[in-house]
Structure formats: structure tokens, C-alpha cells
Amino acid sequence: MKMKMKMKKLFAISALSILLVACGGEAEKKEDSSITVGKSTEETTSSESEEETSTQDENGVIELSLEGNDQMKYNKKRLRAQAGAEVELTFKHVGEMSKQAMGHNFVLLKKGTDIMEFAANAAGAVDNDYIPEDSSNIIAHSEMLGGGETTVLKFTAPTEKGEYDFVCSFPGHVSLMKGKFIVN
């Protein structure tokens, strides 16, 4: 059953890619849909082995990766995980700038959180790496990184399916540094 689902998903992505290619001029969207499945599948076509489509390790932990850079950007707009799954997110600041000038973190927010309001609150939490004292909107967050640093964040994906926002809470970054964490 699980295998079937995966194949279906893969097929859907391939079909989408073909559709977008057929339409033309939608290359960016196509890329967007493929990177969400996980690094191992980025160059995988539908004819390749199913194991490569899985982002889960042998213990069922979903391994995700995300980068932030000196241009104030994440390298992915979407991350995916199954509801309730254990997630291990490797988050890397691939730039060279300091944490004080260009710090990045990953903050996963509960549904219904106003991200601009959250960011405004976070901006005041200077002494706490821009994690607001009232963390009731936060599902999980990484530490704040400076250029060249990497952290691994472990958390449990929400049990409710749907789209959740993730943001960088460094002041002024949310407008560019935000994405969707998709639970399915």
C-alpha cells in the first residue's frame, strides 16, 4: 500500500513535470515541485528504483535538509513529511556572514499563525536568538546559525495533515525566508 502511494506520488510529479514542460515557460515551478521530495530524488526519474524516492531511513526517520545563505534565502520553498513522523532536519548556513549580521534559523509554526506578527514579536527577542518568550505558536525551531555552521533539528511532524509555515525569525528575514512544511 505504501509502495503504491509512493509510486502514485512519483507518477504525479512526473506527470506534472511533463505537463509543465509541455506548457513551457514554467521551469521554475517544475523545479519547485521536485525539490520538495527530498535530495535523493532530485535527479531521479520515474524509471529508477523506488527506494531512492524515500526520504526515510531504516528507523522510519524522515531526513530533510535545508540551507540558508548570505543572500537571505533558503534553498527550498517546501519540505515534506508524513503526519506524526519523526523528522531529522539538517539545517546549514552556507554563507560566510556572522550570526549577528546574517543569522538564520528554522522555525516551524502552528497553523493559523500570522507570520508577520510572529516575526515582529521575534524581532524583540534579541537576547534569545530571536525566539519570542511566548513560544506557543512554535512547533519546533533550530538554533540561530552564522555562516558555515550546521545544526540538526529533531522533531515530530504534526499529526494533522496540511501546510505549515516555516520562517527565519532573524529581524527582517521573514519576507524572503519562508516556506511551507507540507504534512501528508
Among 168, 174, 178, 183, binds Cu ion (CB under 5 A): 168
Q: Is residue 178 part of the contact set for Cu ion (CB under 5 A)?
A: no
Fill in the per-residue mask, 85 to 104: x = in contact with Cu ion (CB under 5 A), - = not in contact: -------------------x
Q: Is residue 173 part of the contact set for Cu ion (CB under 5 A)?
A: yes
Q: Is residue 170 part of the contact set for Cu ion (CB under 5 A)?
A: yes
Cβ proximity to Cu ion, 69 vs 82, nearer residue: 69
> Is 20 in a helix, a strand, or coil?
helix
Dihedral angle computed from the Cα positions of residues 174, 180, 183 and 184, in that order, rounded to the nearest 10 degrees: 170
Of 12-20, 55-63, 91-99, 163-171, the segment contacting Cu ion by CB under 5 A is: 163-171
Q: Tell me the number of residues near Cu ion by CB under 5 A.
A: 5
> Is 30 in a helix, a strand, or coil?
helix
What are the φ/ψ torsions at residue 149 (nearest 5 degrees)?
-95, 155
Name the minimum Å distance from CB 163 to Cu ion. Answer: 21
Burial bucket for residue 78 (CB in 10 Å: 0-12, 13-18, 19+): middle
Q: Which helix (H) or strand (E) holds 139?
A: strand 138-141
Cell 509502495 identifies what position? 3
Spatial separation of the C-alpha atoms in residues 71 and 61, rounded to whole Å: 31
What are the φ/ψ torsions at residue 139 (nearest 5 degrees)?
-85, -45
Name the minimum Å distance from CB 44 to Cu ion. Answer: 30
Name the minimum Å distance from CB 72 to Cu ion. Answer: 6
Dihedral angle computed from the Cα positions of residues 162, 137, 107 and 27, in that order, rounded to the nearest 10 degrees: 30
Fill in the per-residue mask, 98 to 137: x = in contact with Cu ion (CB under 5 A), - = not in contact: ------x---------------------------------
Q: Is residue 141 part of the contact set for Cu ion (CB under 5 A)?
A: no
Name the minimum Å distance from CB 17 to Cu ion. Answer: 30
Chain contacts with Cu ion (rule: CB under 5 A): 104, 168, 170, 173, 177
